[in-house]
Amino acid sequence: MAHERPTLDTVAAAAGVSRMTVSNAYNRPDQLSPATRLRVLEVASRVGYSGPDPTAASLRLRRTGTVGVVLTERLPYAFTDPGLVTILHGITSGLSDAGSALLLVPAGGEGSESLVRHAMVDALILCAIAADDPAVAAAVERQVPLVTVGKPRLPKVPAVGVDNAAAAASVARHLLDLGHQRFAVLTTVTGHQRTSSPSLFQERVHGFRDALVAAGTDPSAIEILTAADNSRPSARTDVIELLSRPRARRPSALFAVTDILALGVLEAATDAGLTVPRELSVAGFDDIDAAAASRPPLTTVAHDLFGQGRAAARLALRQIAGESVRAPRIVTQLVPRGSTARAPRRRRPGGAA
């Protein structure tokens, strides 16, 4: 009897008060006299009681005080992606204002479904998950407030994320304003998304192309290349042929769907003996740290990942509070830098091909 885990009852009995008084001693000091409180706490520590059990309290209160973040793939992977870490940073920041804790839930693995189902949370934030990941279905079934960041887009679920197509269109307009007429787009496959819905890269490609075409560009003047993966070497080897062509058969502007790829293109341009931006304008997407430091500094699209994380957290908290929410508009910002410039004068004006 002495060696059983002490509970409120144990303490109450030992202190000669009711269970509720012990509870109040911990959670509502104003509800009992300081003398009683002191005595209760003293007895508690004497019998080895270490305070109210959080799980039991959560059950009764019907809230956990934590928000779950479901992350792409196996959780460890997330930490190798600086973008995701930044988003996480933002979420954390948004939650800690409200005193909520954050539960990391890995998706994509074997038991990911089960983990989502068993997570003790008041809300879930789905972060860059493939739409067909079983974790998504599990999350929806939980009937808990939901927010998505990036992918997936779910009906009736507020989503935080940039309008990739619109942002890419702004790049297109920037290049058109500079007088460019022949374009290339460098994209890549999304490593860990086997979803059927268009990837964010595809959204960028289409947004870019559609804006050009809408402005009267001949579709045949837009070449689309796909790198093997989102890395500088892949980009470099992938565009070298394109850049080695004679000037008349070569695009004067290239849009890469990520800064990583764009940096690879800069290297390839050097290989091909082209000076950027005089002979080739290059634009990227993401505005990673390296973009501002490259030579020449990269024109790109900035989108505030930290802010997106914060926004997601706030959406979750407001839903928990029972308020109705709408997804905020995340602004993207074209950042013109030295890698784009006026198109070189064409020998003969006129359409391409």
Partner DNA sequence: TAGATAGTCTGGATCGATACAGAATCGCAT
Partner DNA sequence: ATGCGATTCTGTATCGATCCAGACTATCTA
3-state secondary structure (DSSP) of residue 330:
coil
CB of residue 6 to DNA, shortest distance in Å: 8
Residue 17, binding choice from DNA, a copy of itself, none, Cβ under 5 to 8 Å by partner class? DNA
Q: Which stretch binds DNA (CB under 7 A): 57-65, 73-81, 214-222, 229-237?
A: 57-65
Residue 282, binding choice from DNA, a copy of itself, none, Cβ under 5 to 8 Å by partner class? none
In the bound state with DNA, the residue whose beta carbon lies nearer, of 65 and 344, is: 65
| Residue 16, amino acid | G
Q: How far is the C-alpha of 75 from the C-alpha of 112, rounded, in Å?
A: 10
Residue 142, binding choice from a copy of itself, DNA, none, Cβ under 5 to 8 Å by partner class? a copy of itself
Select from 29, 111, 233, 351 the one that contacts a copy of itself (CB under 8 A). 111
Q: How far is the C-alpha of 71 from the C-alpha of 264, rounded, in Å?
A: 28
| Kind of pairing between the strands at 159-160 and 332-335 | unpaired
| Residue 179, amino acid | G
Token pair of 89, please?
């940073």
In the bound state with DNA, the residue whose beta carbon lies nearer, of 17 and 140, is: 17
Q: How far is the C-alpha of 239 from the C-alpha of 19, rounded, in Å?
A: 73
Q: How far is the C-alpha of 49 from the C-alpha of 14, rounded, in Å?
A: 11
Beta strand ranges found along 61-194 (DSSP E)? 66-71, 101-106, 123-127, 146-149, 159-160, 183-188
Contact criterion met (CB below 8 Å) for 153 and 159: yes
Residue 257 burial (C-beta neighbours within 10 Å; 0-12, 13-18, 19+): buried
Residue 19, binding choice from DNA, a copy of itself, none, Cβ under 5 to 8 Å by partner class? DNA
In the bound state with a copy of itself, the residue whose beta carbon lies nearer, of 314 and 337, is: 314
53 near DNA, judged by CB under 7 A = yes
Site string for DNA, 6-35 (x = CB under 7 A): -xxx------xxxxxx-xx-xx--xxxx-x
92 near a copy of itself, judged by CB under 8 A = yes
Q: Which stretch binds DNA (CB under 7 A): 49-57, 197-205, 260-268, 276-284?
A: 49-57
Q: How far is the C-alpha of 145 from the C-alpha of 328, rounded, in Å?
A: 16
Token pair of 230, please?
């989102």
Binding residues for a copy of itself (CB under 8 A) = 48, 50-51, 53-59, 64-66, 74-76, 78-80, 85-86, 88-89, 92-93, 95-96, 99, 101-106, 109-111, 114-115, 117-120, 141-143
Binding residues for DNA (CB under 7 A) = 5, 7-9, 16-21, 23-24, 26-27, 30-33, 35-37, 51-53, 56-57, 59-62
